[in-house]
Every structure is written in structure tokens, then in C-alpha cells.
Amino acid sequence: MDMLNISQITLAWELYTHGVPKSRIAADLGKTRETIHLWIKGIQKYALMGFLDRYEQAKKGCRTPRKADPVVKDWIYQTREREADCCGQKIQYFLEKEHHLHLGVTKIYEVLAEKYEIRSKWKKNKERGPVPHPESSREVVQMDSIDFGGLFAFTAVDCFTREADILLAPELTSQYGYRFLDRSMNRRFGGHVELIQTDGGSEFKDQFTDHVEEYCDRHRVSRPYKKNEQSFIESFNRTVRKECLGWTNYQSGQLADATEMIESFLLRYHYHRPHMGLGMKPPLTK
């Protein structure tokens, strides 16, 4: 028996009966509040000694993992092959729909691993290189997109000069991503930079990745959920919303009017609007 936990369970119950809050008990014993809650709930149901006996029995020996029924395994294999090597979540969906069987995704992948070599599509340890810190113009350009409902804004900013460009499109696709890449690089950023950084969105894959190295020495994809790696473009995107298009959803039929608003904003942004990161100067002067 794990004597340390047995002592902690007993102490937790004594503290609880004396009116000490569960959160305080958890902090004092170095346990989570959920653990303390389960202990106390079990003691209330089985009494202290009864709960300790059940706790001791549960800790004895290794549990034999449940084996999936051979028929269920066949269903899983057949579904995967029929649905073009679909993921575990989709197999779970089809099992419920076709066989009224609910099976956990983890168990589904365990079964699949017996027959197939399962690999995550996410390369968690992919080498991305250090976060760039530019010291001159045309070193780093960050790119992103903004969802305006029926319209999408592709945005880019030079992290050193704060020069920026925007293209409004009716679809968020890699085709428009490449179109923006070509236009912005030739119109705003001199045709070639050292590094272009994007997030992992689908608009920056396929056609975009096929051509991006024509405009830079290196393409870097920022790490998921690390907004600070895209801080310059995220800041610019907030400025676009705040000072130009707002938080309104636009329809595709408003593309021409919204583009006119964007071009007017870019003129003001580059030649009139002071930037604190540039010593209260605009990015460009006429």
C-alpha cells in the first residue's frame, strides 16, 4: 500500500471534517483540488476504512488492457481503407453512424497501430530556426491574413521599416496567397528579402510555398500559438481593423469599395501616420 497517500487521504478527511476548504487542503498536501474532491466523495460514499480498502485494491498489480473485439477491429480497418486512410475521429464518426458503437479515439489508434504505421501529420520537432530580429530593411517580412466575413485581407509588413501592403480577396486560398506574394514583393518590398515569415495557414501552402523561395532566401513558419513570433504583423492587423475596415463583416460584392478604403489607408499609413517604433515618424516620406 502507498503509505504516503494513505496518510494524506486520512489527513485530508480530518481537515475536511474540521471545515477546511478543499482548495486549502489541496494546497497544503500538494494535490490538485480535483483529487481532494474525489477522495472526499469516495469517503462519503464508502466511509474512510471502506474507501482505503478500495484504494488499496485498485493499486495492486498492473491492469490488463482491454482488447478490442475482432469484429470491431475489422470495422475499423474497413472504414480506414474505404475512407482513404481517414483519421481516428472520422472512424469514430462512422462507427457510431453505421454500427451504433462508441469507441474512444485513443483506442481506435491503438487498433490501427496493430496493422498500420501511424504517424502524426504534425511535425512537432520541426526545425524552424531562431525567431528573426531584423537590423535593416528587407531582412524580414511577416505575412498574415484577416477574416472579414465575405472578404479576406492578405497583409505583410517589413519588420524594420514598418512598410506594409494589403490585398483584399474573396477567398482565403493559396492561389490568392501567391497572388499577394507576387504583388506585394514587387510593389512594396523590392522583389526579394532575406526571410519571409508566415503562420501555418492553408493560404500560405501549396501555390504559395511552391513560389515563396523565388522572393526570399528562406521561408519560416511561426510556431503554433506563439503570437509573439508574429508580433509585427499582428500589430499591423489591429491597426487595419481599428483605423480602416473595423470589425465589420463585408460581402464579396463590396470588394471594390473596400479596396479603395485600403489604398487610402496605406497612403495615410506610409506618409502621414507617425509610428512609435520609428521615433514618431511615418514609415515613408514623400
Tens of pLDDT, residues 159-200: 999 999 999 999 999 999 999 999 999 999 999 999 999 999
Do the beta carbons of residue 76 and residue 107 sit within 8 Å? Answer: no
The crossing angle, in degrees rounded to 10, of helices 22-29 and 3-17 is 150
CB contact set of 1 (below 8 Å; sequence gap of 6+)? 56, 59
Percent of the chain whose predicted confidence (pLDDT) is above 70: 91
121: pLDDT strictly greater than 70: no
Say if residue 152 is in the same domain as residue 254.
yes
Measured CA to CA in angstroms, residue 109 lies from 71, 117, 170 at distances of 16, 10, 38
Q: Are 107 and 216 part of one and the same domain? A: no
pTM over 0.85: no
Q: Is residue 285 part of a domain?
A: no
**201 torsion bin: left (phi>0), alpha (psi -120 to 50), beta (else):** beta
Number of domains in the chain: 3
> Where a domain ends, among 21, 36, 59?
59
Higher pLDDT, 262 or 2: 262
* Domain contains 270: yes
Angle (deg, nearest 10), helices 255-271 and 231-240 = 120
Give mean pLDDT, residues 95-102: 91
- Is 131 contained in some domain? no
Same domain (yes/no): 271, 160: yes
Residue 87 lies inside a defined structural domain of this protein: yes
pLDDT tens-digit profile of 41-68?
Answer: 999 999 988 888 888 887 665 555 567 7
Q: Both 213 and 266 in a single domain? A: yes
184 with 229, same domain?
yes
For 78, the domain range is 70-113
For the chain, percent of residues with pLDDT exceeding 90: 58
Q: How far is CA 91 from the centre of its chain?
A: 23
Closest residue by Cα to residue 232 from 198, 272, 281: 198
Whether residues 165 and 200 fall in one domain: yes
Q: Is residue 213 scored above 80 in pLDDT?
A: yes
